[in-house]
Amino acid sequence: DCARVALVAAACGVVPGPVRAQTDQPVITAVRAEGTNLVVTARVPAGLRRVTLECRDRLGARSWEPRAVARLDGAGGTVTFRLGRTRPFEVVRLRADLSEPLPASFYTGTNTFLGEPATGAGPETGVVYYSLDAVVSPPTESGRTVSREVVESDIWKVRGSKLYFFNQYRGLQILDIANPDAAVLQGTLELPAVGEQMYLIETNYAVLLGRPDCGASDSAVWIVDVAQAQPAVIAVVPVSGTIVESRMVGQALYVASQGYRPVSGSAGSAWEWGTLVSALDLARPEAPVARGTLWFAGYGHVVAATDVYLFVVTQSPTNWWQGIVNIIDISDPAGSIRPVGTVTPAGMIADKFKLNYTGSVLTTISEDRHLNNGTRLVTKLETWRLPQPAALSPGGIVKLGELALGAGERLRGTRFDGDRVYVVTFFQIDPLWVVDLADPARPRVAGSVDVPGWSTYIEPLGDRLVTVGVETNRVAVSLFDVADPAAPTLLSRVVLGQTWSWSEANANEKAFTVLAEAGLILVPFNGDLTNRYCAVLQLVDLTHNSLQARGQIVGGFPFRRASVFADRIIAITGREFLSVDATDRDQPRLSGWVELAWSVDRVFLVGDYLIEVESDASWGAGSRPAVRVALAARPHQTLNRLQLDPVPLLGATTWAGRLYLAQGPLGVAYVEPVALDHHGLPAPNPTVPFRLTVVDVSALPALPVLGQTEAGVAPLGWGRRWQAVWPKPDLLVWAGGQSQWWWCPICSVPLLQTEALAVSRPWPPYYSGGGGRLIAFDVSDPAAPQWASEVNLGTNRWWNFSSAFATDGLVYLSHQESEFIPGLPSPWQTTLEPALVDGRVRTEAGSSLQPAAPIIGTWLHRTFLDVIDYADARQPLARRPVSLPGRLVGLSHQGALLYTVGPHWSRELMSADLEFLDACAYDGVAAHLVASLPLPAQWPHPVLVVGTNVLIGWPQDSASPACRLPAIRTWTVSTQGRWVELGCHSVASAVSALAQFTDLLAAQCTDSTVALFDLRDPAALRWLTGAKPTACVGVDLANADGALGRGLWLPLGAYGVATIPLAP
C-alpha cells in the first residue's frame, strides 16, 4: 500500500496508552524498496506486546491507517514489515501497546473468508403483521327502547352535535361539532386497520366490527361506551371467520362471516368454505348475548334484511356463476334465528340492491351466464311468493314469474321503488330499464332509455332519479325523468374530471350524498384537474329538471363522506375533518379543519412527551414531513407541530436534548463511466442538497429550530432509511443511500492487471447497491451546524452494506462485492477472455503478443469490513477493506471484537445450509476468526449484540438447550475463545426481531406479539409483558422507542402509534 515515504518516517515511534511504561520507544531503523514491496524495519524495546505500523498520505491532522501488526512476547528485538506498493503515502509511524485488548489467542484464527457463488440474490427480509388484543372493562347498566328498524353499518354517524368516525387509520374517533368551524376531537379508541363497520345504539354505545388479529382468521364485535369524551371498550364478542357483512335490526345484530371448516359428517377428511351467520342480542350492550349461528356452504358477501327476514346470498357449490338465497327468520326481537328455506335464482346476485321483499313477494335480479356454456349474459328478474314467517308452511315458497333483460349486457345498478324497479345494463350504451312489478307474477318492461356509460347507484326521488356511474372513464352524475314509466328521459348529466376520475360512490353508495331539500349533491372523486391529480369533493346543484356543477373542495386525501350540518358542509377524509362555508356554492371556503390522522414513521420518548416524526412517504402526493409532540400517555392528540419543507425526510435522531433531521431529494444515483462534456473533458458531477435541521427538544412541547445547513452531495438514490451514528459526541454521521450500477453487458472493465498481462471482461452479475454513503456534520454549535465530509463506498461496485456501528471515533460497516477467483472450479464456473489485440493477448509493455488463452474460474460474493476513521472529520480515512466471514451485526470491546452472521463456504464451495454467528478479533489490519456458533436451520433467528453479550432468537429446533424452545438465548465469547451460553428464556412463539432500548428489550414474535424484558442482566432476562400492538400493519422495532418502567411506543406509519405500557 505504500509507494513513497518521507524522510521523517524514522522519527515517528510512539508508545500511546493510558499508562506510559518505563521503556524505550520503538524506532524505525530502515525503509527500503524490495521488488513490489516496501520493507520497514524497526527496533522494539522489551515490555511491548503489540506494534502496529500506521500510514497516512500526507502531513497534518489526517487519520492514521493501520497497515501491519506484529505481536511480540515482551522480549523486544527487531521487527520487519513488508507492504505491497499499491497506494501512495507520505508518512509512516509505529504505535506500540503494552497489552492486547483481547487474549493473544484470538488473533491466531484465519482472516481470509470465501463467499457464496454468484448464483442468486441474498436473503430477503420479512414483515410480521400485528393487531391488538381486546380489553374488556366492567359492565354498566343502561335502559333502552326496543325498535325493529333495519340499520346498515357505516364509517360515520352524526348524532346531535357529535360525529362518530370509525377511522381506518386510527380507530373510533369522537368529534364535538356543535360549532363545525371549531370542531374538537374529544377522544379516540385506538383500533386502526381492523374494519369499517360501525353502529350506534342511541347516544351511549357504539358497536364496531372488524378483525382484531392479522395472524388469525377470526373477527370480533367491540361494544364501546361513548357516553364520555374518551371511548372505552366494555365488551368484546369473538366471531368465527372474517366478517363480510352485517345488519342491525332493532336490538339484534346479525353478522355474516366467511370461514373454512370440515364438512359435516366427514370426520375432518373434507373441508369447505362457507358463510357463518351469527346473531347477538344487544338489549343490554354491556352484556351481549349470543343467540345462535347458522352455517351455509359457499362464499357469500351479499346480505339484505327486513324486520322479519335476513337474506344471505352464497355461491352454488356446483356452479360458481349461480347464487343461492338463504332465507332466515329473524322475527324474534331477542335475536334468535331460524332457517326457513332457499331460492335459487338463474344467476349470481351481485349486491343488496338486487334483492327486495315487499308484502309477501321476494324479487331477485341476477346476471345469468347459463346460455351458450356461460359465454352469453342475460339479466333475469324473478319473483317468489314468500309468506310472513308466522304463515310460512313447508312448500310455501313458490316462484311466481320472471323477466329477461339486456341480452349480452352486463348488469349494473338497480333500485326498487314501490311497485317499480329500475335496472341498468351495459354493453356500449347504458339502457335504463323501468320494470313494472304491480303484478308480481307478470313483471313487464314499462319503458327504457339508452344513454352513454352506465350507472352504479340509483337514488329515487319521486318522479325523478339521480344516479352516479361512469362515462368514458369518468365519474358521471345523471338526472332522469321517470314520471312516465313508458318514456324515461335523461334530463341532465355532469361528468367529473378532465380525462379520468374515480369515486368511492361507484362502489359504496354511502359516499354519495343527495340532499333533495337543499338542492345539493355532494360527490367525492379522485381525478385529474388541470394536469394534476387531486382529491375533490364536488358540489352539484340539483333542481327538478337539471344538474349543474358548482364549486369544488380540493384536498390532499380522498374524501370519504360529506353532508350538511347547520349552515355548513362537513366532510371527512381518513386524515382530516373539514367544515366548509358554501354560502357561495361557486366559491366554497374552508372555514374549519381538524387533523384526525397523520403518519408516524419514527418516535422518540423524551420525558413525559412523545416526539412523532412523519416522513412524506405514507400518504403519497401532497404530504409533507413534519414533527409533532404529544403526551406519551395520549399519542393520538398532538400538542405542537413543526412543519418541514416539502423535501423527503431521510432520517431522524436525538442527542443531548436536540432532534436532528436529515432531508434530501430522492432520485436515481448511477455509478457509471465518467461523462464527458462537448470539449471531451470530464463533466461536473451532479449534486443535490442534503439538509440538516437541528431542533431544541429540551423544553417540550415547544419545537424551536436552532440551526440548519445544507451540503451539495451526489444524488442520494431512493433509500429513505439513513442511519444516524455518533463516532464522537459532536460529530453526526448519516449512513445510507442507494446506488444502481451502470450495466453494459457488451462493455469490458479491467479484471487483472499485472506486469505481464492485462485481462478484461464483461462486468460481473448486476446488483443494486444499498447504503455505503456516510455524510458527516460537525454539530458542536447547534445554531450553526457545518457539513464536515462525505465518504462514498458505493463507487466500487460494492453492495449489501450492513448497519453502521460507531465507537472511539471510528464507524464500522460491512459490504459485499463480486470477486473473480481464477482457477477456482465449481458448478458455476465461467470462462473469461483476456483483452485481445488481433486475437492475441497484449502484454503490459505491448512489446510482444502471446496466443489468447481463456481464464477459468468462479465469481464469488465475498463480505468485507469497512472502517472509517474520523480523527479528522473533514478528511476521514477509509481503511482498506478486511475480509469477513459474514455480514457485520455488532461489535464490542471498543471495536476489537466483531460479530458477523453468514454461511460458511469451503474451498469446494460447499455450505452446510446453516448460518453461523462468528466472532472475529480485529486489530486494525485483519479480522481473525475466534469462534463460530452454528445458528438454527429454522428461520427466523435474529441476533442482537448487547455489550459483550449476544442475544439470539432461537426457534424450535432439534437441539436441547437448558430451556424449552422457542427461546431467547444469551451467549458470550469466553477468554478461551469459545462461545458460552449464559442464559435461556422461553417464549411462546419464535422471535423475528430484537431491539434494545437501554435497559428494555423488545422481542417481536411470529404470533403477532411484542414481548418486553428487563435487560439489566442479559444473562437472566426477566419477562415484563407481552401484547399484540394495535393495527393490522407491519411493525418496525428499529423506529420505536421505550424505557424500562415506561413501556414501548411503536410507530405504525399511516396508522399512528401503538403503545405497550409498563408499570413504573
Give, in order, the Cα–Cα distances in Å from 482 to each of 371, 516, 981: 32, 16, 82
Please state whether beta strands 91-97 and 13-14 pair in parallel, antiparallel, or not at all (unpaired). parallel
What does the pLDDT read at residue 835? 53
pLDDT above 60: residue 11? no
What does the pLDDT read at residue 555? 86
pLDDT above 70: residue 292? yes
Stretch 142-171: mean pLDDT, rounded?
A: 84
Least confident residue range of 59-63, 142-146, 788-792, 955-959: 142-146
Give pairs for 643-646: CB < 8 Å, separation 24+: 644/693, 645/691, 646/616
The pLDDT-based confidence of 375 (bands split at 50, 70, 90) is low
The pLDDT-based confidence of 959 (bands split at 50, 70, 90) is low
Q: What residues contact residue 847 under an 8 Å CB cut-off, 6+ apart?
A: none
pLDDT above 70: residue 882? yes
Please state whether beta strands 302-305 and 309-315 pair in parallel, antiparallel, or not at all (unpaired). antiparallel
pLDDT above 60: residue 133? no
pLDDT above 60: residue 22? no
Residues 107-121: pLDDT tens digits? 888 888 877 776 533
Residues 337-370: pLDDT tens digits? 999 999 999 999 999 999 999 989 999 999 998 7
What does the pLDDT read at residue 124? 30
What does the pLDDT read at residue 619? 57
Please state whether beta strands 786-792 and 805-807 pair in parallel, antiparallel, or not at all (unpaired). unpaired
pLDDT above 60: residue 596? yes
Residues 896-950: pLDDT tens digits? 999 999 999 876 666 667 899 999 999 999 999 999 999 998 889 999 999 999 9
Residue 1060 cell numbers, joined: 405497550
Average model confidence (pLDDT) across the chain? 86
What does the pLDDT read at residue 749? 40
The pLDDT-based confidence of 836 (bands split at 50, 70, 90) is very low
pLDDT above 60: residue 638? yes
1010 in Cβ contact with 993 (< 8 Å)? no
pLDDT above 60: residue 328? yes
Give, in order, the Cα–Cα distances in Å from 625 to each of 508, 603, 651, 721, 1003: 32, 14, 11, 14, 29
Residues 816-827: pLDDT tens digits? 988 887 877 777
Q: Name which residue leads in pLDDT, 394 or 346.
A: 346
Domains and CATH numbers, the chain: 7-99 (2.60.40), 356-451 (2.40.128), 936-1064 (2.130.10.10)
Share of the chain above pLDDT 90, in %: 64
Taking residue 36's Cβ as centre, other Cβ atoms within 10 Å add up to: 12
Least confident residue range of 133-137, 308-312, 503-507: 133-137
Residue 196 cell numbers, joined: 369499517
First to last CA, the chain: 57
pLDDT above 90: residue 796? no
The pLDDT-based confidence of 74 (bands split at 50, 70, 90) is confident
For residue 600, which of 958, 1029, 225 has the smallest C-alpha distance? 1029
What does the pLDDT read at residue 1020? 95
Q: Does the predicted model carry a pTM greater than 0.75?
A: yes
What does the pLDDT read at residue 757? 40
918 in Cβ contact with 905 (< 8 Å)? no
Residues 447-492: pLDDT tens digits? 999 989 999 999 999 999 999 999 999 999 999 999 999 999 999 9
Residue with cell 485488548: 101
pLDDT above 80: residue 10? no
What does the pLDDT read at residue 1012? 97
User: What is the dihedral angle through the alpha carbons of 38, 42, 48, 52, rounded to the nearest 10 degrees?
Assistant: -20
Least confident residue range of 314-323, 446-455, 511-520: 314-323
Residues 728-771: pLDDT tens digits? 999 999 999 875 544 444 344 444 433 334 444 444 444 445 68
What does the pLDDT read at residue 321? 86
